[in-house]
């Protein structure tokens, strides 16, 4: 086992004190700018990468990030652990925590399993997307905004589409920076979970900011950032067979971008051109979506460093 100085977990944005959240975003931006590399700081560490759901960006970002930082990586797919044959989460956590320094996990369900993994306090645990929250996506999103605007404070964001795990993490993270605005426009019945909406609204209010949610596309505010996400979040299905009718008005198209002529466009990817976003917007000059995807790698390195006691 590596000489780990502290066991830090990132299961929810809520787990991060303000100064750690700020430092992780800044460290990701430092990596993105090509600076602040240290010499293989994780060379004594072993990182487990457990993905029970499909992933292109997050899994690769953490695998490549761990390797670049000098760690050894063990990768587990959805059918690999004995949990599939009935071994308990608790026993799995006891065993893995005796061998791994960090476990990066995309689970199929709630964060409860991640909390069990984290409860043993011998192995850091990173939520690589759960049903409710996608905290490492929010770090990449804010890293992208910091790199583009040079600040997060005071930014105004319009989020359009389903209030999914990307939206919940973004809400919790953005609202922790002073004077930010988050305007959520979500289809009726597909809004942000009230727990996240209330938490984000309180955080924003305490810091001079504002969070609101509406279920229509009228009276859109002037913003700095327009953000959307795909309509079929990884690993989920919608009960209503006619759900596309509810989502249709929320497409990110050129008319939407025209409502804030200076705004940049973000998308967490994967994208379905012609569905939640038009090709003209996603591939247009105002889109930062692929820079945002690249920043998943930079912020993954920042998270791995932080977990193993390195620079915040
Ligand atoms: N945005 C995101 O989490 O992408 P993947 O599902 O490909 O990891």
- Whether 149 shows a pLDDT value over 60: the answer reads yes
242 and 302 share one domain: no
The set of residues, in sequence order, having a beta carbon less than 8 Å from that of 167 and lying 6+ positions away, is 159, 161, 184, 186, 192, 196, 229
**Contact by Cβ (8 Å): 177, 52:** no
**Contact by Cβ (8 Å): 128, 106:** yes
Q: Tokens in use for 166?
A: 């990307």
- H/E run at residue 73: strand 72-76
174 and 216 share one domain: yes
In a domain, 4, yes or no: no
pLDDT tens digits for range 15-61: 999 999 999 999 999 999 997 777 899 999 999 999 999 999 999 99
Question: Mapped to the 3 state alphabet, what secondary structure does 173-194 carry?
Answer: HHCCCCCCEEEEECCCCCCCCH
146 and 289 share one domain: yes
142 and 246 share one domain: yes
DSSP state of 282: H
Lowest mean pLDDT among 14-23, 195-204, 231-240, 297-306: 231-240
> What's the 131 CA to ligand 1 centre distance in angstroms?
13
43 and 110 share one domain: yes
In a domain, 8, yes or no: no
In a domain, 1, yes or no: no
68 and 151 share one domain: no
127 and 166 share one domain: no
Q: Which atom of ligand 1 is nearest to the CA of 53?
A: 6
Q: 3-class SS at 208?
A: coil
In a domain, 185, yes or no: yes
Pocket test of ligand 1: the residue of 49, 57, 62 to mutate, having most ligand atoms within 8 Å of its CB, is: 57
60 lines ligand 1 (CB under 6 A): no
pLDDT tens digits for range 187-223: 999 999 999 999 999 999 999 999 999 999 999 999 9
Q: Tokens in use for 73?
A: 């990586």
**Contact by Cβ (8 Å): 227, 197:** no
pLDDT score of 312 = 58
127 and 161 share one domain: no
252 lines ligand 1 (CB under 6 A): no
In a domain, 312, yes or no: no
Residues 221, 200, 193, 278: is their CA dihedral positive or negative?
A: positive
**Contact by Cβ (8 Å): 15, 9:** yes
In a domain, 196, yes or no: yes
- What beta strand segments (E) does 92-230 contain? 102-106, 124-127, 156-160, 181-185, 210-214, 225-228
Domain count across the chain: 2
119 lines ligand 1 (CB under 6 A): no
In a domain, 5, yes or no: no
151 and 281 share one domain: yes
Of 150, 112, 156, 115, the C-alpha closest to 10 is 115
Q: 53: burial class by Cβ within 10 Å (0-12, 13-18, 19+)?
A: middle
161 and 116 share one domain: no
Q: 149: burial class by Cβ within 10 Å (0-12, 13-18, 19+)?
A: middle
> What's the 108 CA to ligand 1 centre distance in angstroms?
14
In a domain, 103, yes or no: yes
Residue 72 lies in domain: 13-133+296-307
> What's the 205 CA to ligand 1 centre distance in angstroms?
30
pLDDT score of 4 = 43
Return mean pLDDT, the chain.
Answer: 94
Q: Which atom of ligand 1 is nearest to the CA of 134?
A: 3
Q: Tokens in use for 205?
A: 């209010």
281 and 173 share one domain: yes
- Whether 3 shows a pLDDT value over 60: the answer reads no
Q: How confident is the model at residue 6 (pLDDT cuts 50, 70, 90)?
A: low
58 lines ligand 1 (CB under 6 A): yes
C-alpha dihedral (35, 38, 41, 43), degrees to nearest 10: 100
Entry pTM: 0.96
Q: Where is pLDDT greater, at 225 or 121?
A: 225
Give percent above pLDDT 90 in the chain: 89
154 and 184 share one domain: yes
CATH number of the domain that residue 263 is part of? 3.40.50.1370
**End-to-end CA gap in the chain:** 22
> What's the 232 CA to ligand 1 centre distance in angstroms?
12
Distance from C-alpha of 192 to C-alpha of 117, rounded to nearest angstrom: 27
């Amino acid at each position: 086992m590596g000489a780990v100085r502290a066991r830090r977990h990132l299961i929810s944005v809520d787990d991060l004190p303000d100064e750690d959240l700020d430092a992780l975003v800044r460290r990701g931006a430092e990596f993105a700018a090509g600076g602040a590399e240290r010499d293989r700081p994780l060379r004594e560490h072993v990182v487990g990468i457990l993905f029970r759901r499909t992933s292109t960006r997050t899994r690769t970002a953490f695998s490549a990030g761990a390797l670049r930082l000098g760690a050894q990586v063990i990768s587990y797919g959805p059918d690999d652990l004995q949990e599939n044959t009935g071994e308990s989460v608790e026993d799995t956590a006891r065993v893995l925590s005796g061998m791994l320094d960090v476990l990066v996990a995309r689970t199929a369900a709630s964060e409860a399993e991640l909390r069990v993994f984290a409860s043993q306090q011998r192995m850091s645990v990173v939520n690589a997307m759960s049903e409710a929250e996608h905290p490492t996506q929010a770090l990449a999103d804010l890293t992208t905004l910091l790199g583009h605007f040079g600040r997060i404070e005071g930014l105004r964001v319009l989020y359009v589409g389903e209030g999914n795990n990307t939206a919940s993490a973004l809400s919790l993270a953005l609202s922790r920076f002073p004077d930010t605005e988050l305007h959520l426009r979500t289809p009726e019945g597909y809004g942000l979970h009230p727990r996240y909406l209330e938490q984000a609204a309180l955080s924003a209010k305490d810091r001079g900011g504002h969070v609101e949610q509406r279920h229509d596309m009228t009276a859109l505010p002037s913003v700095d950032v327009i953000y959307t996400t795909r309509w079929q979040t990884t690993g989920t299905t919608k009960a209503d067979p006619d759900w596309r009718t509810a989502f249709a008005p929320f497409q990110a198209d050129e008319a939407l971008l025209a409502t804030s002529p200076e705004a940049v466009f973000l998308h967490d990817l994967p994208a379905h051109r012609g569905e939640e976003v038009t090709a003209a917007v996603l591939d247009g000059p105002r889109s930062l979506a692929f820079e945002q995807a690249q920043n998943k790698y930079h912020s993954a390195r920042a998270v791995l460093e932080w977990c193993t006691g390195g620079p915040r």
